[in-house]
Amino acid sequence: MPFGLLRFGMSRHYPEPRMFRCPDRLKPHYDAVIIGAGGHGLAAAYYLARDHGIREVAVLEKSYLGAGGTGRNTAIIRSNYLTAEGVRFYDESLRLFRDLSADLDLNLFYSRRGHFTLAHSDATLRTMRWRAEVNKHLGVDSELVGPEVIRRECPRLDLSCGGHTPVLGALYHPPGAIARHDAVAWGYGRAASQRGVEIHQQTEVTGIRVQGGRVAGVETSRGFVETGKVLSAVAGYTPAVMEMVGVRTPLEVHPLQACVSEPLKPWLDTIIVSANLHLYVSQSSRGELVMGAALDPYELHSTRSTLDFVEGLAGHLLELFPFLGEVRVLRQWAGLADMTPDFSPIMGKTPVEGLYLDAGWGTWGFKATPVCGKTMAHTLATDRPHPLIESFRLSRFEEFDLVGEKGAASVGH
Amino acid sequence: MKLMRCPVNGWRPIQEFSYGGTFRAMPPPEECSDRQWADYVFHRSGAAAVKKEWWCHLASGVWFIAERNTSTDEILRTYLYGEGDHHE
């Protein structure tokens, strides 16, 4: 290995094949421009090229590939949501995730773990039962279980929570899984690039040119690009992009923080979530505990980390797993969560013809990556919203027709 | 520790405060259209900027206005509702 590394360092040419091409200039025209090279944008580019034959596509990224929410989430994949719209949508995503490694020819470390959402109160238990029934009705493997099943599947968990908030039961979702989030973005990026899509990093979109209510092109930090179709897939930066064309959205941006512990021997093979304690934890294939908690309590467009967050999270973690008291936190970070009032995404067409929106990804964006790519590619190619995303349209707010998704991670029960 | 100045109680740790959302003028409910009402209820000026916001000092229940830069988290001014204009 050291010799390999030395050869790598001494080599005049980059000795490994590149994951994707880096064209040095923008073309004057593309059939479609996608703003944001995160998982969603790259997946949309991939399905546009693969399923719809639209290959003259540029993905523009102001930073580097996967720099936003894609590389900052806690990588949990599940479909045990509460609304029929949500369950159908996320279950299709889970189905796509299962053979995505083979599809993209890249090991995504997709690992089925089983997902427990613990209930520490009768009210939470009631919501869990509701969710389980909706899930079962729609064919999703999900059930309400008592403490004995939790004890069997996760023996290290202190079900009494030190005596003050005992675990009464849990919503158990066996297909719940984790995957390497960076690999998802890189895999989609490579597969899209192989099919002719261009990925331009360090290219910021500074304006969207609209003529007669139609998109005519985008202004970028590297010049103007003509195009008739633009997809905005920028999550936390959506309000800024929509302001360029004067479209109002109900998005409010809050930081969502996460951290990992130092690597430990494998001891936790399930994903443990507590709705009441606002905590989720799983163990990655590297042995690190990947942990997240609630959103930061006020609007902020910054990825700074706070001590408040780790303090609160550690307190709750120790209630469930007191033996982790000596374990150290290794890294801490934050991402921008673009929250909607009903905890469902905003997907589909906008009042500007040719401008499509994939936003409102709050705390639930990573698990939706494949299905977002697929449905947004369909929407762009046919100019009609895919049936799975019709109810997530931007106009639902003006029509007072919300999709209240109380199964989202950020909702307290 | 991050501090915020309550117009009544002075400088206090940020944990003692609760965020009440951006200050928005309510359109007259009887006269405005459904569309204007939906815009008021749901839509936000979501991009980062210096914003006028409602905050509450939880310990004493004082609601007040804070002007805060939502990209740097810098609190520029705090004052009681209706008093802001007299400071300058």
Give the number of other Cβ atoms within 10 Å of residue A381's Cβ. 18
Q: What is the spatial distance between Cα B8 and Cα B3, in angstroms, rounded to a whole number?
A: 14
User: What's the complex ipTM?
Assistant: 0.93
What is the per-residue pLDDT for A83?
A: 95
Distances (CA, A) of B63 to A28, A192, A296, B40: 53, 52, 20, 21
Q: Give A236's contacts in chain B (Cβ within 8 Å).
A: none
The answer to whether B19 contacts chain A (CB < 8 Å) is yes
Contact B48 A341 (CB under 8 A): no
What is the per-residue pLDDT for A413?
A: 45
Assigned domain for A85 exists: no
Contact B72 A302 (CB under 8 A): yes
Q: What is the spatial distance between Cα B7 and Cα A298, in angstroms, rounded to a whole number?
A: 19
Q: Residue B63 sits in a domain of what CATH number?
A: 3.30.2270.10
Assigned domain for A302 exists: yes
Q: Residue A135 sits in a domain of what CATH number?
A: 3.30.9.10
Q: What is the pTM of this model?
A: 0.94
What is the per-residue pLDDT for A366?
A: 97
Q: What is the spatial distance between Cα A324 and Cα A302, in angstroms, rounded to a whole number?
A: 30
Residue B85: pLDDT band with limits 50, 70, 90: low
Kindly identify which residue of chain A lies nearest to residue B55, measuring between CA atoms: A298
Kindly identify which residue of chain B lies nearest to residue A300, measuring between CA atoms: B70
Assigned domain for A295 exists: yes
What is the per-residue pLDDT for A8?
A: 80
What is the per-residue pLDDT for A164?
A: 86
Q: Give A249's contacts in chain B (Cβ within 8 Å).
A: 43-44, 46
What is the per-residue pLDDT for A6?
A: 85
Assigned domain for A143 exists: yes
Q: What is the spatial distance between Cα A369 and Cα A371, in angstroms, rounded to a whole number?
A: 6
Assigned domain for A195 exists: no
Contact A301 B42 (CB under 8 A): no
What is the per-residue pLDDT for A389?
A: 98
Residue B87 has pLDDT above 70, yes or no: no
The answer to whether B22 contacts chain A (CB < 8 Å) is yes
Nearest to B73 among A240, A248, A302 (CB): A302
Q: Give A240's contacts in chain B (Cβ within 8 Å).
A: 47-48
Distance to chain A for B60, nearest Cα, Å:
19
| Counted domains in chain B | 1
Assigned domain for A391 exists: no
What is the per-residue pLDDT for A285?
A: 92
Q: Give A301's contacts in chain B (Cβ within 8 Å).
A: 47-48, 70-71
Which two three-digit tokens encode residue A164?
């003050």
What is the per-residue pLDDT for A407?
A: 75
The answer to whether B44 contacts chain A (CB < 8 Å) is yes
Q: Give B53's contacts in chain A (Cβ within 8 Å).
A: 298-299
What is the per-residue pLDDT for B88?
A: 43
> A235: closest CA among A363, A348, A332?
A363
Kindly identify which residue of chain B lies nearest to residue A251, measuring between CA atoms: B46
pLDDT by position in tens, chain A (length 413): 678 888 888 888 877 788 999 999 999 999 999 999 999 999 999 999 999 999 999 999 999 999 999 999 999 999 999 999 999 999 999 999 999 999 999 999 999 999 999 999 999 999 999 999 999 999 999 999 999 999 999 999 999 998 989 999 999 999 999 999 999 999 999 999 999 999 999 999 999 999 999 999 999 999 999 999 999 999 999 999 999 999 999 999 999 999 999 999 999 999 999 988 999 999 999 999 999 998 999 999 999 999 999 999 999 999 999 999 999 999 999 999 999 999 999 999 999 999 999 999 999 999 999 999 999 999 999 999 999 999 999 999 999 999 998 777 666 54
Domain of residue B37 covers 3-87
Nearest to A341 among B42, B45, B48 (CB): B42
Q: Give A252's contacts in chain B (Cβ within 8 Å).
A: 44, 46
Q: Give B70's contacts in chain A (Cβ within 8 Å).
A: 253, 299-301
| Counted domains in chain A | 1
Nearest to B42 among A238, A253, A397 (CB): A397
Distance to chain B for A341, nearest Cα, Å:
7
What is the per-residue pLDDT for A412?
A: 54
Q: Give B71's contacts in chain A (Cβ within 8 Å).
A: 300-302
Q: What is the spatial distance between Cα A43 and Cα A373, in angstroms, rounded to a whole number?
A: 4
Q: What is the 3-state secondary structure (H, E, C) of B36-83?
A: HHHHHHHCECCCCCEEEEEEEECCCCEEEEEEEECCCCEEEEEECCCC
Kindly identify which residue of chain B lies nearest to residue A360, measuring between CA atoms: B46
Q: Give B18's contacts in chain A (Cβ within 8 Å).
A: 297
Kindly identify which residue of chain A lies nearest to residue B52, measuring between CA atoms: A299
Distance to chain B for A97, nearest Cα, Å:
32
User: Which residues make Cβ contacts (< 8 Å) with residue A240, sequence separation at least 6?
Assistant: B47, B48
Answer for the pair A60, A32: CB distance below 8 angstroms, yes or no. Answer: no
The answer to whether B77 contacts chain A (CB < 8 Å) is no
Q: How many residues are listed for chain B in this entry?
A: 88
- The stretch B36-51 carries a mean pLDDT of 95
Domain of residue A307 covers 111-176+252-339
